[in-house]
Amino acid sequence: MMLLITYCFPMKLKNLSHYPPWVQEALNTDTYDGGAIPSVSATGLLDSPRIKKLRAMHSDKMEEDASRRIAALIGTGVHLLAEEYCTKRGWIVEERFYATIKVNDESHIISGQIDALQPLESKKDVVIWDWKTITAWKAQSGMDNYVAQGNIYAFLLRKNGYNPTKFKIGAWLKDWRANQARENPDYPQLPFMTYEYELWDDDKCNAYVQERGLLHFGTEEHKCTDEERWASEPKWEAIKANHAKPTKLFKSKAEAEDWVLSGDHIRTKGTTLEDWNIQQKPKVYRRCEDNWCGVAEYCTQHLDGLK
């Protein structure tokens, strides 16, 4: 038995009237190509299986504010630009590759539309390129979460007779500032930066794809992880007695206690730990609370946490 699932759930847009008619049309045009064969995309495989199932169940009711499509629209423009000029160089652009995996003796098709493949001398040796339109902060904070996506692409390419040699991200920095580049050597030095990431070997790629496949196609029900919910980093706050707001935030309870005991701050002088309430801040699940997944209102994991 073969189970075919697609991850493309276009949402209805609200507040479109805030924009000129031509912008409305652009925002309302879904350019995503799911391919000729129904499949689970590489990005879908990386995402939460719980979100996927809820989107499938409630796709007819899902809505999204039009403002959230602006960033995607800018990214589409960047992709079109890259597609034009990479094609001129003989690169393979926006091609979707397919492979079949087995989970519990059932076959499932996964796919990935790769932004660009740079052929090397042998033609079957290729460099994987993925375009990202991001902030300079994102570029500085690290993009290791993209490594798994690149390696799913590597898995698909190997199944289709290619030999991927490198995975590169071409990052277009939408808020780049020349003065910050001059003053800070750790700041991206150009408004377009190239980052190269590790490609795993066959065994590691196969194991990872099977692991993700089991999450999505297995029989167990899974809750979203903190990472999938975009949980805030754990923080501890030091609140002085008779004060409503914390004076300072810390990465650990021990760090907060050391700060109080050092007495270096104007508010800690002459105080002891008994004068302070040191407590851990509740996590903030931004993807859930701001409904970036589109299905928070139907999710018992999120709703139960609000009680």
Beta bridge partners of 276: 240
DSSP reduced 3-state for 37: coil
Confidence at residue 7, expressed as pLDDT on a 0 to 100 scale = 40
Please indicate, yes or no, whether residues 28 and 84 belong to a single structural domain of this protein: yes
Confidence at residue 255, expressed as pLDDT on a 0 to 100 scale = 94
pLDDT < 70: residue spans in the chain: 1-10, 30-37
Domain count, the chain: 2
Confidence at residue 4, expressed as pLDDT on a 0 to 100 scale = 34
Please indicate, yes or no, whether residues 120 and 242 belong to a single structural domain of this protein: no
Task: Examine the fold and report which residue of 222, 248, 265 is the final residue of a domain before the chain moves on.
Answer: 222
- Give the list of residues 6+ apart from residue 246 with CB closer than 8 angstroms, or none: 237, 238, 239
CA 83 remoteness from chain centre: 22
Which 8-state DSSP code applies to residue 17? G
Is there a domain that residue 231 lies in? no
pLDDT, one tens digit per residue, over 19-67 is 999 999 998 886 666 666 678 899 999 999 999 999 989 988 998 999 9
Q: How far apart are CA 175 and CA 275, in angstroms?
A: 44
Confidence at residue 1, expressed as pLDDT on a 0 to 100 scale = 29
Please indicate, yes or no, whether residues 205 and 253 belong to a single structural domain of this protein: no
> H or E segment at 255?
helix 253-262
Q: How far apart are CA 28 and CA 261, in angstroms?
A: 57
pLDDT, one tens digit per residue, over 217-250 is 988 889 999 999 999 988 999 999 989 999 999 9
CB burial class (10 A; 0-12, 13-18, 19+) of residue 58? middle
Is there a domain that residue 198 lies in? yes
Please indicate, yes or no, whether residues 165 and 253 belong to a single structural domain of this protein: no
Is there a domain that residue 77 lies in? yes
Q: What is the pTM of this model?
A: 0.85
Instruction: Give the DSSP letter string of 73-138.
Output: HHHHHHHHHHHHHHHHTT-EEEEEEEEEEEETTEEEEEEEEEEEEEE-TTSSEEEEEEEEEE-HHH
Q: How far apart are CA 158 and CA 85, in angstroms?
A: 26
Is there a domain that residue 295 lies in? no
**Domain range for 120:** 12-222
Query: What CATH code is carried by the domain that includes residue 75?
Result: 3.90.320.10
| Terminal C-alpha separation, the chain | 41
Please indicate, yes or no, whether residues 68 and 186 belong to a single structural domain of this protein: yes
Is there a domain that residue 290 lies in? no
Confidence at residue 34, expressed as pLDDT on a 0 to 100 scale = 64
Please indicate, yes or no, whether residues 151 and 70 belong to a single structural domain of this protein: yes
DSSP reduced 3-state for 140: helix
